Amino acid sequence: MTPASASGAGGVGAAGVNRLGFRLLDVLGAEPPPRNVLLSPCSLAFGLAIAGNGAAGRTREELVSALGVEGLAEREVNRRFRDLRVEVEQPGPRIEVDLANAVWGPPGVAFNAEFLQRVQEFYAAEARTLDAPGPAAAELVNRWASQRTKGRITRLVHPDDLGAGPSCILTDASYFKGPWAVPFDPRATRTGPFTLPDGRRKDVQMMSRSWRYPYLETDEFQAVALDFAGGNLTMFVLLPRNGTALDTSRLEAWLPRLQSAQVALTLPRFSVTCELNLVRPLAGLGLGGIFQPGADFSRMGLTGAFISALRHTTRIDVTGACCSPRRWSWTARFSWPSRTGAAACSFSWAGSASPSRRRDEGRIACGIGDDGSAGTASNVVMRQ
C-alpha cells in the first residue's frame, strides 16, 4: 500500500518498491506447498537501503541492483527514500502509520560514525546496544518490535538467530491502520465458502457490499480498488481466474484501466501472520553475495561481516471497518565467519472464492475485510 503519488527516479518510489515486492512474491509463491504469502515491499526496501549504506564494493552493487537505483548517487538515493518515508508516514488524518528503524550492536562493536549519521538523518534509525547474546537479546528486540507495531508482531527475532556469538542487527518495523472510505455493514456479514487449493471448501465470515468501485475484468482476472478514508491510499484486490498465473510485471499497466462500476463485492474477513526467512529467496534475485563470508560491510564498521539471517514478519487484519496490516518487520543478522564458521503489503492467497458475473454488475470474492490493520517487521542479523 505504497502511495501512488510517491515520487522518485530509478527504483525509489511506489513503482520501484512494488517491483521488488512482486519479484520476491513470484519466487515465494512458486515454493511448495501452496500457502498464504504476505510481505511488505516498503519495509523490506527500507531495510536493504540501510544495509546498503554500510556496504562497499560488490556487496553494495548487489544491494543497489536489487533496489533498482543504479546510476544514482548514494545521497540522492537516501534523499528519495527519506521523501518516500515522509510521504508514507503522512497518508491522511484518519490513518495511523508508524515506521521505525533501529541498528543494534553488542558491547564492544562500534558502528562507523558516518554510517550512523546517514541512517539517522535519512531513515530516522535508532542506535541501540544488545547487552547480552542469545535469548535475552532476542527478547529485547522482540519487545521493541511489539511496541512499535502496537502488539501486532511479538516475535521478530528467534533466540537461535542470536545464539552463536556476538551479532549486529538491523531492524525495521511498520504499523498501519486505516478505515475504509466506504465501510462494510457488519449486518451483511455472512458465513460463506472459501475454496482451498486442493478443492476443499472452508466456511469463513464473508463481508458483502454493493457499491460503485473502480473495477476491471479480463480473461485473466477480476480487480477492484478499495479506498481508505482520506483518499491517499488504496488497496487493490486481484482475483485470478482458475488456473491463471498473473504476470505481476504488468500491474502498473493494469491499474489505470480500472473504471467505476457497480460491483457486488464479497470479501472474507481474515487475519494472517506470515513469517519468512528471505535468505534463499533474495539470493535467487541476485543478492547471494551478501549472505556469504566475503561480503563487504566495512562502511558499517563491521570488517569481515556478512548477513546470516534475514527474517520478515507481516500480519494483516481485515474487517468491515478498516484494514490493519498490524505490523511489518524485517531483521537481518550479520555474522563473522572467524567466530562461527556459518553462514522485515503484497500477498498471495492459497485459496480462492468463486467469482460470478451478472448483467451490469461485477461480482468479486476474495480475502479482505471490513476493518483493516497491518504490521510488518524485518530483521537483518550480521556476524563476523
Nearest by Cα to 22 from 248, 286, 246: 248
Q: Using CA atoms, how far apart are residues 361 and 81, in angstroms rounded to an integer?
A: 41
Q: Using CA atoms, how far apart are residues 245 and 39, in angstroms rounded to an integer?
A: 19
- Quote the pLDDT of residue 61: 96
- Quote the pLDDT of residue 373: 53
- Quote the pLDDT of residue 350: 41
Q: What dihedral angle (degrees, nearest 10) is formed by the CA atoms of 225, 88, 376, 127?
A: 170
Q: Using CA atoms, how far apart are residues 364 and 384, in angstroms rounded to an integer?
A: 51
Question: How many domains, in total, are found in the chain?
Answer: 1
| β-bridge partners, 203 | 193
Coil, strand, or helix at residue 200?
A: coil
- Quote the pLDDT of residue 90: 77
Contact at 8 Å (CB) between 24 and 199?
no
Q: Using CA atoms, how far apart are residues 91 and 312, in angstroms rounded to an integer?
A: 24
Radius of gyration of the chain (CA): 21
- Cell matching residue 184: 462494510
19, with CB counted inside 10 A (0-12, 13-18, 19+), is buried
Dmax of the chain from CA atoms? 70
- Quote the pLDDT of residue 352: 38
Dump strand ranges (E) for 218-360.
221-227, 234-240, 259-268, 270-277, 306-335, 346-348, 356-358
Residue 45 φ/ψ, nearest 5 degrees: -65, -40
What single-letter amino acid sits at 288?
A: G
- Quote the pLDDT of residue 20: 85
Q: Using CA atoms, how far apart are residues 193 and 289, in angstroms rounded to an integer?
A: 45
Nearest by Cα to 323 from 208, 181, 147: 181
What single-letter amino acid sits at 260?
A: S
CATH of the domain at 157: 3.30.497.10
Residue 5 φ/ψ, nearest 5 degrees: -85, -5
What single-letter amino acid sits at 221?
A: F
| Single pTM value for the model | 0.79
Q: Measure CA 121 to chain center.
A: 22
- Quote the pLDDT of residue 231: 63
- Cell matching residue 301: 564498521
Give the residue numbers spanning the domain of 51: 1-384
- Quote the pLDDT of residue 320: 62
How many Cα neighbours within 13 Å face the side chain of 17? Answer: 30
| β-bridge partners, 245 | none
- Quote the pLDDT of residue 202: 87
Contact at 8 Å (CB) between 323 and 371?
yes
pLDDT per residue, tens digit, the chain (384 aa), is 444 444 443 446 567 788 888 888 888 878 877 777 888 888 889 889 999 999 999 999 999 999 989 889 999 999 999 998 888 877 777 888 778 888 888 777 788 999 999 999 999 988 888 877 678 888 888 898 888 888 878 888 888 777 665 567 888 877 778 888 888 898 889 998 887 767 788 898 988 999 999 999 999 899 999 888 876 778 888 888 876 777 877 888 898 999 999 999 888 887 878 888 888 999 999 999 998 888 999 999 888 888 888 888 887 777 766 665 433 444 443 433 322 222 123 434 343 343 333 333 333 333 333 344 556 667 777 666
